[in-house]
Amino acid sequence: MKKFYVTTAIDYVNAAPHIGHAYEKIAADVIARYYRMRGYDVFFLTGTDEHGSKVEKSALAAGKTPIAFCDEIAETFKQSWLNLGLSFDYFIRTTEERHAKVVQSLFTKLKEQGDIYKSTYEGLYCEGCEDFLRERDLDESGNCPNHKKPPRKIAEENYFFKLSKYKPLIKAWLEENPEAVRPDGRRKEVLNQLNDPELTDFSVSRSRKSLNWGIDIPGDHDQVIYVWMDALTNYITGAGYLTDDEHFQKYWPADLHLIGKDITKFHSIYWIAFLMAAGIPLPKQIYAHGFITVEGQKISKSLGNVIDPNKLVEEFGADAVRFFLMSGTSFDQDGDFSRHEFVRKVNAELANNLGNLLNRTLKLIENNLDGKIPDAKPEHDLREKANTLHAVFDSCMEKLEFAKAVEAIMAILDQTNKYINDEKPWTLFKEGKVKEASEVLYTSVEMLRRVAFQIYPFTPKLASDIWWQLGHDDNIEVLGDSDRPDGFFDMIPVGQKVRNTGPIFMRLEEAVKS
């Protein structure tokens, strides 16, 4: 069986999750569900990044120990993702004992072979970025452009990783594997960074005088392992490196690392260099997606526009949130959350387009065909169009073009709605043309059955409800296998009893009022 290993960036636990965090996690879940339906053995990893000065300070401000603070916030993240219907296979925390052992083992290996050495460094450190900045990186006010605060000038003795040794190898890897970092614009950014002579060896530890909350360095209690070697290593820890060799051999290398565009350098340069140094196979692809803004503004506590995904789920349901975030904009670009646009789009496409088509089709079958799927054949041209759109859908999903994939689904629904409106099966029944009317309705349920498969990764509960209303007793979630991936080209059984239990998706205004 083919495998697919997808990871998300792990979230820093200095604050509760917001809609920006949810965006990436939903995307990873869409990918995981899509490949499971195609018969792949999928491993989906997400989790939390729990060491570092920001966590230490946040814990102190909350009057808690760092581990107690991490336990609380990590559980909040995990529960948020469950509320959104995420199907992750493992939720990793960097405070796990097995992770510390993997990080320490990697550090020791690289130190023993000369890729990690001790030196003194003086520079401008941004706590928000967890990275050192150069003067030219700062904005006109002398602030970090991402966090709008001035970096601190620090000087201390640290352990450094010999990035200079691996830069040519990383550059060659990127040039030989154009799909290794996507979208292509971000790959070019990384290549430009590799050509920068100022990108050189970097710190992989911090002195306990400046940071105490971290993983111990074996044999040197005065230092702790710095965040990027700690955080990035979660991807191999989660896969079973040094703890479950069978699992690791099965799933590594990762097929896809999903990350935000602001941490492209760390994944496409630092992480690749660590793996090269350790002799571990490289991931197949790193995809750096855009951000989610709110009403055109960057998400910020100071602006008061942080949106809790749990509250959105409470108000509108997980499927609506998932659908809007994945269909609203191109995944490689920044997208925007607007409450007005959210309600408009979800109502138009899920309640009106999909919901109305299902409801009126099943009503006509119940009223005229004893509630059973008729013995008929689907209309040839519409079926061929659906087949063509399915190829488009698959291509878009493989390229992570989620908005375009949803457009293909909506195109099938639009064409089916037009077909029913043109053929008018209700009139055909009145005229005694049962065979002709039956063909129209069979075609409609066939298109709906196919749409259920395609929309499942985006809206799993909605798809399962459609599946059940069409009369199926099996589980749409487990139909994919290597011999019959996704079941798209199967046919709905003649004589199957449909279950019309009313509108499949309530308009959001109604949900708000209730």
DSSP 484-506: SSTTTT--PPTTPBP---S-SS-
Exposure string of 185-211, with b = 16+ CB inside 10 Å and e = fewer, is ebbebbeebbeeeebebbbbbbebeeb
Is 396 a residue of the active site?
A: no
The yes-or-no verdict on residue 156 having pLDDT over 90 is: no
Q: Annotated catalytic residue: which of 2, 118, 147, 148?
A: 147
What average pLDDT score do residues 63-70 get?
96
In the prediction, which pLDDT does 478 show? 67
- pLDDT tens-digit series, residues 192-211: 999 999 899 999 999 998 88
Per-residue confidence band for 141, with pLDDT thresholds at 50, 70 and 90: confident
Q: Annotated catalytic residue: which of 57, 171, 261, 298?
A: 298
Is 21 a residue of the active site?
A: yes
CB 477 within 8 A of CB 438: no
- pLDDT tens-digit series, residues 381-398: 999 999 999 999 999 999
Q: Which of these, 472, 430, 424, lies nearest to 448 by C-alpha position?
A: 472
Higher model confidence: residue 14 or residue 230?
230
Q: Which of these, 405, 386, 384, lies nearest to 395 by C-alpha position?
A: 405
3-state DSSP percent of the chain in helix, strand and coil, to 5? 50, 15, 35
The yes-or-no verdict on residue 3 having pLDDT over 90 is: yes
Is 399 a residue of the active site?
A: no
| Omega of the bond leading into 168 within 30 degrees of 0 (cis) | no
In the prediction, which pLDDT does 511 show? 47
Is 99 a residue of the active site?
A: no
User: Where exactly are the structural domains of the chain?
Assistant: 339-513
Provide the token pair at 120.
């003194």
* Model confidence, pTM: 0.92
Strand order of the β-sheet with 116-126 is 131-133, 116-126, 152-161, 202-203
Provide the token pair at 64.
């808690």
Per-residue confidence band for 513, with pLDDT thresholds at 50, 70 and 90: very low
Q: Annotated catalytic residue: which of 78, 111, 144, 162?
A: 144
The yes-or-no verdict on residue 500 having pLDDT over 70 is: yes
In the prediction, which pLDDT does 486 show? 64
Chain centroid to Cα 202, Å, comes to 29
CB atoms within 10 A of CB 362: 24
Per-residue confidence band for 182, with pLDDT thresholds at 50, 70 and 90: very high
User: What's the CA angle centered on 305, arms 303 and 311, to 5 degrees?
Assistant: 155
User: What's the CA angle centered on 160, arms 158 and 165, to 5 degrees?
Assistant: 165
**CATH 1.10.730.10 is the classification of domain 339-513:** yes
Q: What is d(CA 152, CA 171) in angstroms, rounded to the nearest whole number? A: 31
Is 221 a residue of the active site?
A: no
> Helix crossing, 184-194 with 163-176: angle to 10°?
150
Q: Annotated catalytic residue: which of 54, 70, 126, 289?
A: 126
- pLDDT tens-digit series, residues 248-279: 999 999 999 999 999 999 999 999 999 999 99
Burial class (CB in 10 A: 0-12, 13-18, 19+), 157: middle
Is 257 a residue of the active site?
A: no
Higher model confidence: residue 313 or residue 137?
313
311 SS3 class: helix
Pairing relationship of beta strands 90-93 and 41-49 according to DSSP bridges: parallel
Q: Annotated catalytic residue: which of 78, 99, 129, 167?
A: 129
Q: Annotated catalytic residue: which of 301, 340, 380, 513?
A: 301
In the prediction, which pLDDT does 514 show? 39
Q: Which of these, 444, 442, 450, 451, lies nearest to 377 by C-alpha position?
A: 442
